[in-house]
Structure 1
Amino acid sequence: MRAERSTLLWIGLWLGVVAAALIARPLMPMDETRYLAVAWEMWLGGDFLVPHLNGETYSHKPPLLFWLINAGWAIFGVNDWWPRLVAPLFGLGTLFMTARLAGRLWPDRPDVARLAPFIVMGSLFFTIFTTLTMFDMILAFFSVLGLCGILTAWRGDYRLGFAVLAVAIGLGVLAKGPAILLHTLTVAALAPLWGPKLSTAKTNWAKWYGGTIGAVLLGAAIGLAWAIPAAKAGGPAYAEAIFWGQSAGRMVNSFAHGRPWWWFIAALPVMVLPWAIWPTLWKALPGAKSAISSGAGRFCASWFVPAFIVFSAISGKQPHYLLPEFPALALFAAFLLTHLPDPCKRPRLTMALPAALFVLVGAAVASAPFLPVSLPFVVEGLQPIGGIVLIVATLVIVASARPGIHLAVSNLTALSAAAIVAAHLAAGPVLTEVYDVSPVAKKLASWQKAGHPIAHYGKYHGQFQFPGRLREPVAVIGDGNAADWLAQNPTGKIVTYHRNEPTGATPEIARRFRGKWMIVWDAATATEDPDILKRR
């Protein structure tokens, strides 16, 4: 497969997956709606220095994503689609940077650069996340960019290489805080492990580590160019939150709750499906011993292993923490696959196990609404068409399989993309029914515009701000101040959540939401019976 055709193919798969997400599913509470709420309040208030959520300073994330969303709105006008494209575009950029990094690591083996983006894109977890408005794809992009800078410096262009690393660190800090250092700095620090194997040129280690420290300091300066003015403008509490909460504070807190040390060991094979059950890759694994002794193999290990150990050591584990390491796994796997003698002579047979998994999943989705058993509402609401599409796509891709490692890898990636598209076809309607807050948010906006105060009973994540284009904060009330708020706002509306559909008093709105019921009460009704506000 020619390089240009290969690139166009994984771009096309990315386009299909992202288009399916944009068309079929709503913004997902609470993360996506929260981040768009922050961007919306930045747009409304014109304060691009200190992010706000529901009228209060928002310290949980740095501002880069919000800046990028606002930049798009400045060009295209306020819309729903641009914010949902920002993170996916960085996912696409990560594929390009992975190919570029492969070309730097294996300049004499262009096949690795062709395969690696497919392996990244074909990993189901990465493919799912590339459709979400989250910070991790941005972090992954700058991580790979920083590693390209490290290799450029190692090849002899210190000035350009460390400048690229510095920019990657700085923008990575603005994307998701100091986590970028774990994904990049360990590779630079472990250069004595991989460097001499990658190049026999004599290295001035003082110059190398001096350049690394300089890149870190310059990257920190980029981050501090925002953080210091923001800390002054946001006040002492905000300053403490962004300097402590973004780094040590969050790390310390992660030990107080979470998952056991072995959790990533168990989760990783699932995260990299279908590659984990592809016999051809297992067949290539014996070559890992010789691969890890090469400079490029050690580079990938220096990238993946330290991050994996650190994230396994902290108990507050989230699967997306490892997304910046997916390219490392893909590069290593691509290198192994290109060294297989006579690979994939019987492509349909080698695809049988992954294909069987997709067919079984498709059959389960297609039959779920018709099973004579009680299932969760979301499962019962799945559309059979999604399962049917997945089965048909799998059979077509397997039937069209031809010998060759490039075709086999691209076929499996196409299967993964088809699975994500089918998942959106199957789940899109029910996700819209139980996760889409837009109908309620727009009604709240009309009430707010008409002069009715809006309150939220319990913790509020800003989920109504952007979908409703609310221009005023929502009051947050609870058991301690609900009575006072009702007395002061007799025409107000209160959003509450109940386990079951309410009986008795008639609410303004009752709608399924994330396994519960979202209820909007009129203040007069709640004043007559304040207990209806409490969850039950």
Structure 2
Amino acid sequence: MQARARDRWFAALLLLWGAFAVASIWLRPLWPVDETRYASVAWEMWRRGDFLVPYINGEPYSHKPPLLFWLMHLGWAVFGVTDWWPRLVAPLCALGVLALQQRLARRLWPNDADSGALAPWVLCGTLLFAAMATLTMFDLLLALCVMIGMIGVVRAAHGEHRVGWLWLGAGIGLGVLAKGPVILLHLLPVALAAPWWAPAARTAPARWYASVAAAVLLGAAIALAWALPAGYFGGEAYRRAIFWGQTAGRVSESFAHRAPVWYYLPLLPVILFPWLVWPALWRGLRAGSFSVRDPGNRFLIAWLALTLVAFSLVSGKQVKYLVPLLPAFALLAGNALARMPAPARRREMLLPACGFLALPALFAYARANPAAFAFPPWASELPLWPAAALALALPVLVWLGRRSTVVQARALAFAVCGAFIVIGAGIVPAIAVYADPRPAAAHLADLQRRGTPLAHLGKYHAQYNFVGRLEQSIEILDNPELAPWVAAHPAGQVIVVERNRHAGGERRPEYETPFRGAWIQLWRGEALLLERGAAR
């Protein structure tokens, strides 16, 4: 009966998760610049019929490997080229992570179903996981590859050597195809620390480390099966970029996001909200029934601690880099909560409940004072009802404080997912009006069909290529290149992004629309030259 009830609650969680994903797909466009860029890369590969070398706006794209783009192509091959399929890839990866997390829990605690029962609730209710779950980016795909590799490590530690090392090799290879060699930073520390958590590695360390090396070689072979032909057909510059840029080149690139060693530590309560501010979790971790001697707990502690230290030592830091660590935290926290020695305490829900007030309070203040946050003026037009709906979480969660720890954990997970649904339904559509590249992209596509040459002045991230289904690339110009391009293309038009709306006058842009706190303007080349000359 208890298992049946647990399954019903898990089905309810999946339904809520599905509603969250559908709301995101239905209510918002692909966000510039990252989501639109990755969809544009997949679109150009599809349009060219070249599934080996990624391209962006006519040039080989060496910044990311092709696995995410291949997954987009897979859906397009079945459903046709649609906007919704690229946005469905991340939620499907999230579901895959949930499924593999449960599989890993059964491997870690084969005789204790309760130990992993709360892990999916903790994962779905973790702020960072919920925030990333519908974004078309590489981090959840990488997390899925990490889960494949970790299951392999655990299976090898439990005596399934051949299958385990094949899983680890597959995880490494797919991880390289997903986001590059960073997969090794996720998988190797816990595998190399196996003598601390795995008796098999302690009894035969030489065999263990030789097998880890063999799995790395298998992963390298999987990655090279793509990289070698891609490097050959992509040309010398692309070949140098994917072999150098994906390894040592990442070290120099990381300086773009340089942060101190301690950068992640003060952010953990936010990243892992609401769990780290919930006293019940800390009570569970201190409970005598939660043992650090347990091999499963040791495995998770090694995974969390070593990987967090490794990413803290790398100069470049972004919060999303920690997404593949979240399943480990959820398993460890879920196991601790399952071993609570006493009933939940009502006051323990007060702190996470108050945390849910922070967002509506911040939102209400930002709406009233957009300039204080450097928000565009239209922020004052956002509706207030989402803030009121989010504030309702406080009394509901406090009231649930009299219930069991399991009920409280489920309530917190529902609250986080529900908060994102409220934000998606109430706030995102209002923002999307000013962040949707589709109207401008449709105008550009119409010009291309009429044979009008197009150029973009300044940095361009291909944000119009996929959403407008552009068939030709847009030339990218620096300021000194503008006059020669206009001379060569007298009928051409130039895209410009300006901070302020055009004030009017003798010369006006052919097209103008608000976009992300700025204005997209489309000018005839000669008019733009005259306008810029007059501005000087």
Please confirm whether the aligned pair reaches a TM-score higher than 0.5, indicating the same fold: yes
1:126-275 counterparts in 2 under 5 A?
126-196=129-199, 203-255=203-255, 258-275=258-275
Deviations 1:9-34 (A, max 9, x none): 33123212212211222211110000
1:93 shift after superposition? 1.0
User: Which residue does 1:56 correspond to in 2?
Assistant: 59
Asked if 1:73 corresponds to 2:42, the answer is no
Asked if 1:324 corresponds to 2:324, the answer is yes
1:464 shift after superposition? 0.4
Alignment check: 8 A CA contact 2:42 2:73 kept: yes
Cα distance change of structure 1 residues 473 and 151 upon mapping to structure 2, 3 Å threshold: same
Q: 2:351 aligns with which of 331, 353, 375?
A: 353
Q: 2:515 aligns with which of 513, 517, 520?
A: 513
1:386 shift after superposition? 1.7
1:136-535 counterparts in 2 under 5 A?
136-196=139-199, 203-255=203-255, 258-287=258-287, 291-344=291-344, 346=346, 349-365=347-363, 369=367, 376-377=375-376, 379-392=379-392, 395-396=395-396, 399=399, 403-503=403-503, 504=505, 505-531=507-533
SS in 2 for 1:512: strand
1:259 shift after superposition? 1.2
1:469 shift after superposition? 0.4
1:391 shift after superposition? 2.9
Hey, what's the Cα distance between the residues in 2 that align with 1:203 and 1:317? 37
Question: Aligned letter for 1:297?
Answer: N
Deviations 1:397-446 (A, max 9, x none): 65466622221111100010111112222321332122110000000000
Question: Aligned letter for 2:276?
Answer: A
Question: Aligned letter for 1:423?
Answer: I
Hey, what's the Cα distance between the residues in 2 that align with 1:28 and 1:195? 44
SS in 2 for 1:331: helix
Question: Aligned letter for 2:102?
Answer: A
SS in 2 for 1:518: strand
SS in 1 for 2:117: helix
Hey, what's the Cα distance between the residues in 2 that align with 1:289 and 1:318? 35
Deviations 1:491-521 (A, max 9, x none): 2121111121122332122222222222111
1:178 shift after superposition? 1.0
SS in 2 for 1:186: helix
1:345 shift after superposition? 5.2
TM-score by length of 2: 0.93
**RMSD value, Cα:** 2.3
Cα distance change of structure 1 residues 319 and 38 upon mapping to structure 2, 3 Å threshold: same
Alignment check: 8 A CA contact 1:492 1:522 kept: yes
Hey, what's the Cα distance between the residues in 2 that align with 1:32 and 1:158? 39
Cα distance change of structure 1 residues 288 and 491 upon mapping to structure 2, 3 Å threshold: farther
Cα distance change of structure 1 residues 342 and 290 upon mapping to structure 2, 3 Å threshold: closer
User: Which residue does 1:8 correspond to in 2?
Assistant: 11
Alignment check: 8 A CA contact 1:366 1:388 kept: no
1:215 shift after superposition? 1.2
Cα distance change of structure 1 residues 62 and 522 upon mapping to structure 2, 3 Å threshold: same
Cα distance change of structure 1 residues 202 and 429 upon mapping to structure 2, 3 Å threshold: closer
Matched length = 529
1:117 shift after superposition? 1.2
Cα distance change of structure 1 residues 372 and 461 upon mapping to structure 2, 3 Å threshold: closer
TM-score by length of 1: 0.93
Percent identity between the two aligned chains: 43
Hey, what's the Cα distance between the residues in 1 that align with 2:370 and 2:296? 54
Hey, what's the Cα distance between the residues in 1 that align with 2:462 and 2:288? 48
Question: Aligned letter for 2:15?
Answer: G
User: Which residue does 1:28 correspond to in 2?
Assistant: 31
**Runs of 5+ in structure 1 lacking a partner?**
none
**Runs of 5+ in structure 2 lacking a partner?**
none
Alignment check: 8 A CA contact 1:383 1:425 kept: no
Question: Aligned letter for 1:276?
Answer: L
1:277 shift after superposition? 1.4
Question: Aligned letter for 1:327?
Answer: P
Cα distance change of structure 1 residues 75 and 44 upon mapping to structure 2, 3 Å threshold: same
Q: 2:115 aligns with which of 107, 112, 117?
A: 112
SS in 2 for 1:435: coil
Hey, what's the Cα distance between the residues in 2 that align with 1:436 and 1:222? 38
Alignment check: 8 A CA contact 1:95 1:117 kept: yes
Hey, what's the Cα distance between the residues in 2 that align with 1:23 and 1:165? 37
Cα distance change of structure 1 residues 482 and 372 upon mapping to structure 2, 3 Å threshold: closer
1:112 shift after superposition? 2.3
Alignment check: 8 A CA contact 1:511 1:519 kept: yes
1:374 shift after superposition? 6.9
1:57 shift after superposition? 0.1
Alignment check: 8 A CA contact 1:255 1:314 kept: no
Question: Aligned letter for 2:7?
Answer: E
Hey, what's the Cα distance between the residues in 1 that align with 2:444 and 2:371? 38
Alignment check: 8 A CA contact 1:386 1:424 kept: no
Alignment check: 8 A CA contact 2:437 2:463 kept: yes
Cα distance change of structure 1 residues 246 and 336 upon mapping to structure 2, 3 Å threshold: same
